[in-house]
């Protein structure tokens, strides 16, 4: 195990020589810059990556422990630092860690990974995530995604995450190309199918989006990303029965929320139920002093509260929560391209928010 990467590089060089291939300088550098791998550190990194992909609060904690274990075995393990950058970025995105702690930790880890191995596609991808989701530096993120794919054009994860970035900044045709490339490279990855569903939703191709979300859920039942896309498509298509059924399933383990949901449904129908839930989540959020609430199942950030007000057609309150999301740097606020927000597009507050986020599609208008 310790020499496996060196062996692979040696084989690659000999194959290239046998085929009389001319390697680019970057490719030559990658093959030459191969360090011995500590097998225990590598195993811990693989375990951490497995748990990170699940993106639940508990799995992110487990992933963090595995990446730290890898560093205890090998303090110069670049992949472990890249993994920590992904953990901190995800912890901020899901409201588990406050931005003032998560953001600097994510950036520090990504930069350390690159300092150890600038030829690592994964390290450039980690920095791209930080620049996009934490810093809202869209140009910087784009450059890092392109570098990651230049180093490894067959990285399914880089294609998938780049597709989500492209969707947020409004480059929807490119987003579809990259997410489909990710699925071609890794067809049984549920998360990539959920990203495909999201990009199709951004493109307002709702039936195809539901089909892609269904594929994700067939591979991984209860995938939160796929269920979230289903929810937004149900809202867009006015599929209230389907939305209510899924909502009941989501809140079944929260008796207080189920009670206000039933009360709102009885008093004001569909919009009444959404308003009651939004009011409850707003109270809970404010009781924590602005620290987002999270459970083992789901996380409730300001954007999620705003979504409920959008669904209740209380657009002023929805706008209040989008502005709160910007204030606490909820990464989900950057996805203003979602069709969900169509009723707000002419609102001067919404337009000002899009400009503050430096979203290219808003600045180019």
pLDDT in tens, 261-315: 999 999 999 999 999 999 999 998 888 765 555 543 345 689 999 999 999 999 9
Cα separation, 131 vs 140, whole angstroms: 6
Residue 148: pLDDT above 70?
yes
Indicate the pTM of the whole model: 0.86
Give the CA angle between residues 231, 176, 201 to the nearest 5°. 20
Q: How far is CA 293 from CA 128, 261, 327, in A?
A: 27, 19, 16
CA-nearest of 181, 190, 105, 118 to 148 is: 118
φ/ψ bin of 170: left (φ > 0), alpha (ψ from -120 to 50), beta (otherwise): left
Q: What pLDDT is recorded for position 292?
A: 54
Strands (E), the chain: 293-294, 299-300
Tally Cβ neighbours within 10 Å of residue 114.
Answer: 21
| 96 has a pLDDT exceeding 60 | yes
The answer to which of 120-124, 170-174, 264-268, 329-333 has the lowest mean pLDDT is 329-333
Phi and psi (nearest 5°) for 250? -65, -35
What confidence tens digit (pLDDT) does each residue in 207-251 have? 999 999 999 999 999 888 899 999 999 999 999 999 999 999 989
**CA of 32: how far to CAs of 24, 64, 82, in Å?**
12, 30, 21
Would you say 131 and 140 are in contact if contact means Cβ atoms under 8 Å apart? Answer: yes
Q: Give CA–CA dist 266/254, Å, rounded.
A: 18
Residue with tokens 């550190």: 41
User: Nearest CA to 234 among 274, 192, 188?
Assistant: 274
């Amino acid at each position: 195990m310790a020499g496996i990467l060196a062996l692979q590089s040696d084989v690659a060089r000999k194959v290239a020589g046998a085929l009389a291939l001319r390697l680019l300088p970057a490719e030559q550098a990658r093959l030459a810059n191969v360090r011995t791998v500590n097998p225990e550190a590598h195993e811990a990194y693989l375990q951490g990556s497995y748990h990170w992909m699940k993106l639940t609060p508990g799995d992110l904690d487990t992933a963090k422990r595995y990446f730290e274990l890898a560093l205890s075995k090998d303090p110069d393990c670049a992949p472990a630092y890249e993994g920590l950058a992904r953990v901190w970025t995800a912890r901020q995105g899901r409201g588990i860690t406050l931005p003032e702690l998560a953001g600097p930790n994510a950036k520090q880890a990504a930069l350390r990974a690159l300092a150890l191995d600038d030829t690592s596609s994964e390290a450039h991808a980690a920095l791209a995530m930080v620049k996009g989701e934490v810093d809202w530096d869209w140009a910087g993120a784009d450059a890092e995604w392109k570098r990651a794919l230049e180093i490894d054009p067959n990285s399914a994860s880089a294609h998938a995450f780049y597709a989500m970035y492209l969707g947020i900044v409004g480059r929807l045709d490119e987003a579809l190309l990259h997410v489909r490339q990710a699925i071609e490279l890794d067809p049984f990855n549920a998360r990539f199918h959920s990203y495909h569903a999201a990009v199709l939703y951004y493109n307002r191709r709702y039936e195809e989006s539901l089909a892609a979300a269904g594929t994700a859920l067939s591979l991984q039942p209860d995938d939160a990303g796929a269920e979230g896309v289903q929810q937004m498509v149900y809202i867009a298509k006015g599929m209230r029965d389907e939305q209510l059924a899924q909502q009941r399933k989501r809140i079944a383990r929260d008796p207080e929320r189920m009670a206000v949901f039933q009360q709102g449904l009885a008093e004001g129908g569909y919009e009444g139920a959404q308003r009651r839930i939004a009011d409850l989540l707003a109270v809970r959020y404010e009781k924590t002093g602005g620290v987002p609430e999270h459970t083992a199942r789901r996380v409730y950030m300001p954007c999620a509260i705003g979504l409920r007000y959008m669904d209740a057609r209380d657009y002023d309150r929805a706008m209040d929560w989008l502005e709160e999301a910007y204030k606490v740097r909820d990464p989900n606020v950057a996805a203003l391209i979602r069709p969900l927000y169509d009723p707000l597009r002419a609102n001067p507050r919404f337009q000002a928010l899009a400009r503050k986020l430096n979203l290219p599609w808003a600045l180019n208008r």
